[in-house]
């Protein structure tokens, strides 16, 4: 080790030189650690406190495993009857063919047939369940009819299909 100067001014200059050198060395160390993936950000400590201890964690964490294969829930194109249609419409006979009495949904009736029509109104698939209601009046069983299929002229709003049971 070289001899230190004796006068205060020379010592002050030496200290300033050492401080400057120290600063440059710290900067250099920080730069090198950055290349190694080690930095003070891992420890919430200033760079000078990091030391030379190697962290056990990899710089780049291993990616989380993703399941292979097709998406869950992917099904074919066959439209099956759904258990929870968006709408249920009951089609009753208008009136008694014998006495002319008008029927409404308030009249006691039984569902004898049904089918489901699948429409795409907006982006959502909407299902209307059509039920044919039967009313017995004057000893005659009378039932409604399925409505005529609406075929929209707008290409983006078309009837996809309908199923009969
Ligand atoms: Zn009647």
| 12-65 residue pLDDT tens | 888 888 889 988 888 888 888 887 776 555 545 565 555 565 555 556 655 555
Distance 139 CA to ligand 1 centre (A): 8
Total residues found in the chain within this entry:
165
Write the CB contacts of 57 (distance below 8 Å, at least 6 apart in sequence): 42
Tokens (6 digits) for 51: 């030391």
Residue 126 vs residue 108, higher pLDDT: 108
Distance 100 CA to ligand 1 centre (A): 6
For CA atoms 92, 97, 103, 108, give the dihedral sign: negative
pLDDT(131) > 60: yes
Are residues 131 and 143 in contact, defined by beta-carbon separation less than 8 angstroms? no
Q: 84, 153, 164: which is closest to 125 by C-alpha? A: 84
Mean pLDDT calculated for residue range 67-93: 73
CA separation for the pair 135, 144 (Å, rounded): 9
At residue 151 the predicted structure's pLDDT band, cuts being 50, 70 and 90, is low
Q: CA dihedral defined by 34, 39, 42, 43, rounded to 10 degrees?
A: 180
Distance 57 CA to ligand 1 centre (A): 85
Distance 114 CA to ligand 1 centre (A): 24
Distance 109 CA to ligand 1 centre (A): 14
Distance of CA 40 to the CA centre of its chain: 37
Distance 115 CA to ligand 1 centre (A): 27
Q: How high is the mean pLDDT of the chain? A: 76
| Structural domain boundaries in the chain | 8-49, 87-164
pTM comes to: 0.29
Distance 165 CA to ligand 1 centre (A): 28
CA separation for the pair 7, 11 (Å, rounded): 6
Distance 138 CA to ligand 1 centre (A): 5
CA separation for the pair 30, 32 (Å, rounded): 5
pLDDT given for residue 111 in this prediction: 92
Distance 103 CA to ligand 1 centre (A): 10
């Amino acid at each position: 080790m070289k001899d230190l100067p004796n006068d205060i001014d020379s010592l002050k200059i030496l200290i300033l030189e050492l401080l400057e050198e120290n600063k440059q060395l710290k900067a250099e160390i920080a730069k090198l650690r950055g290349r190694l993936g080690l930095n003070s950000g891992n420890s919430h400590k200033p760079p000078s406190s990091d030391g030379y201890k190697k962290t056990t964690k990899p710089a780049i964490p291993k990616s989380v495993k993703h399941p292979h294969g097709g998406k869950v829930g992917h099904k074919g194109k066959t439209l099956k009857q759904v258990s929870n249609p968006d709408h249920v419409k009951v089609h009753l006979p208008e009136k008694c063919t014998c006495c002319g009495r008008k029927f409404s949904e308030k009249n006691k009736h039984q569902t004898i047939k049904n089918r489901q029509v699948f429409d795409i109104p907006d982006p959502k698939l909407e299902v209307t369940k059509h039920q044919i209601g039967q009313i017995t009046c004057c000893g005659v069983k009378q039932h409604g009819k399925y409505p005529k299929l609406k075929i929209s002229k707008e290409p983006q709003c078309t009837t996809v299909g309908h199923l009969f049971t």
